[in-house]
Amino acid sequence: MNESIISVRYSKAIFLLALEKGVLDKVKSDMEIIFSIMSESKELQNIFQNPVLKPSKKQEIIKKVFPGFDPMTLSFINLVIKNRREIHLFDISRNFLTRYKQHYGIESAIFTTAVNVEPMMLKKVKDLIKIVLKTEVELANKIDKNIIGGFIIRVGDKQIDSSVKSSLNMTKKKLLNTSIEFNK
């Protein structure tokens, strides 16, 4: 079975069950933790990819790594391990979070700046995007010193680039395309 099909099916199953049982926000919180830890921890990835390690041992590790998880999330992870699909847990959590955002109409936006931005400024940017798009927004702040100054806002496939680097590049192109004639 295709691994994307596996992760989509499992994420849909836990999403619908959590929605039905009224614990969607708790399971979402658990899935965010799984996504975060799985994306950063090579050790946990190696444990899940180890075919020699017994499922019962992997389940013990899960209980220790994620002690505060909702019982539904723990039962779900145990089922995934029992079915030998634990290598898909990262993709399952990613698909779950995408499905959650779609369910609530939440757009993801990235606000890129050259330096750290104060939380109050991030809130203003988020509120502005929210007004323009007429939807809930999840804003992430990314720092990229290469843009020199200004900002870049990316929402889905749309982007507003007001960075100094972009302005300098446009000026450079204009200058290169301009011919200068000297009078003798």
Please state the domain extents for the chain: 3-102, 106-164
Q: CA–CA separation, 165 vs 145, rounded Å? A: 10
pLDDT of residue 3: 60
Q: How confident is the model at residue 2 (pLDDT cuts 50, 70, 90)?
A: low
Q: How confident is the model at residue 184 (pLDDT cuts 50, 70, 90)?
A: low
Give the pTM: 0.74
* Span 154-163, average pLDDT: 90
Q: Which fold has domain 3-102?
A: Peroxidase; domain 1 (1.10.520)
Tens-digit pLDDT profile for residues 92-148: 999 999 999 999 999 999 999 999 999 999 999 999 999 998 989 999 999 999 999
pLDDT of residue 4: 85
* Span 44-63, average pLDDT: 87
Q: CA–CA separation, 70 vs 29, rounded Å? A: 9
